[in-house]
Structure 1
Amino acid sequence: MPEFNILAILVAAIVPNIIGALYYGPLFGKTWLESFGMTAEDMKGRNEALIYGGALLCSFVIAFFLFFFMSMGHRDVLEGGEVVINSFATFKHGAFHGFMMFFGLVMPVIIALALFHKTKLKNVLLNIGFWALCFAVMGGILDVWR
């Protein structure tokens, strides 16, 4: 089992909330709302604590398992049976791993759900861009901060 760096996992877990505040706010907020056929007024009256708390909890689960799978993928066993961690421990390397996890696991889920839900292409592309960025940044943080 890898040794978990809980502080790195916690920092990586807040990444989607920080990026999301910018991405779905001033950068693409209006476009995102339009992709649902909604306005800012329609968003009022929601249980914000439940929404953001639940999102943060989900982000923690993502960060935890991203750390776990990246750590397990960086382990090699030498001929003598010794286990060594084989990581470049760079942000770029971790971002690559994070993006590949997104590309292979998350993006197909987003697309499959969108097909069944008849989600507009604009919304699908916004969500793909957001999660690709989040997974890359989270992976970068987790690989550098071993």
Structure 2
Amino acid sequence: MSIPDVNLVAVLVTTVLSFVVGYLWYGPIFGKAWMENKGLTEKDITDGGSSMGYTLITSIIGMYLLGVFVAWSQAMTWMEGATTGLLMATLVGTFDFHTVVYDKTKGINNRFKDWLLHLGYVAVYLAIAGAIYAVGKKSI
């Protein structure tokens, strides 16, 4: 099985999309609940920009891999692409479950809420990104 060609413009677009969805998800939509659950303050958030470089790199890699998965799945419609994105979100969520198990800094309920909140974010942006890849293949 060879690695399919992935539209690099789509990789950049979906990477930006992941940041936009993250801004909305952890800002106006669920920002207060997320900060309360994590025990963060506004100052903690404004001082946390140093992780953005790491987030950018991992987003580019993740979006490239999603493009490969969408190509392998032969998704041609937005719904097939979104389904492929949700499948990848399930995989990410399964492997990310360690945050619930190993984070000893807070009670199990808070850790589980963190995981569900993050999984929701991942599911939303990967579903949208998967749809973009599938629909974008028609124009390539």
Q: Per the shorter chain, which TM-score range?
A: 0.7 to 0.9
Percent identity (aligned): 31
Instruction: State how far apart, in whole Å, the 1-side matches of 2:97 and 2:51 are.
Output: 22
CA distance in 2, matches of 1:72, 1:93: 12
Aligned length: 130
Quick one: which amino acid aligns to residue 24 of structure 1?
A: Y
The secondary structure found in structure 2 opposite 1:2 is coil
Q: 5 Å matches for 1:66-81?
A: 66-74=66-74
Across the aligned residues of Structure 1 and Structure 2, the Cα RMSD in angstroms comes to 1.6
Larger Cα-atom Rg: 1
Question: When you count helix as a share of all residues, which structure comes out higher?
Answer: 2
Q: Which runs of 5+ in 2 are unaligned?
A: none
Listed one character per residue, the Cα deviations across residues 91-124 of structure 1 (whole Å, up to 9, x for unaligned) are 1110001101111x11112222211114612212
State the TM-score, normalizing by the size of structure 2: 0.84
Aligned to 2:96: 110
More strand as a share of residues? 1
Task: Could you list the structure 1 runs, at least 4 aligned residues long, displaced by more than 6 angstroms after superposition.
Answer: none
In 2: Cα distance, 1:100 partner to 1:2 partner: 19
Aligned mates of 1:142, 1:6 — CA distance in 2: 10
1:50-61 paired onto structure 2 within 5 Å: 50-61=50-61
Distance in 1 (alpha carbons) for counterparts of 2:44 and 2:10: 36
Give a deviation string over 1:25-76, Cα, whole Å, max 9, x none.
0111111011111211233333x2x3223212211101101111221232xx
Question: In structure 2, the residue corresponding to 1:145 is in which secondary structure?
Answer: helix
- Who is 1:91 aligned against? 78
Deviates more, 1:106-115 or 1:133-142: 106-115
Q: Report if the CA contact (8 A) 2:25-2:121 is conserved.
A: yes
Partners of 2:53 and 2:98 lie apart in 1 by 26
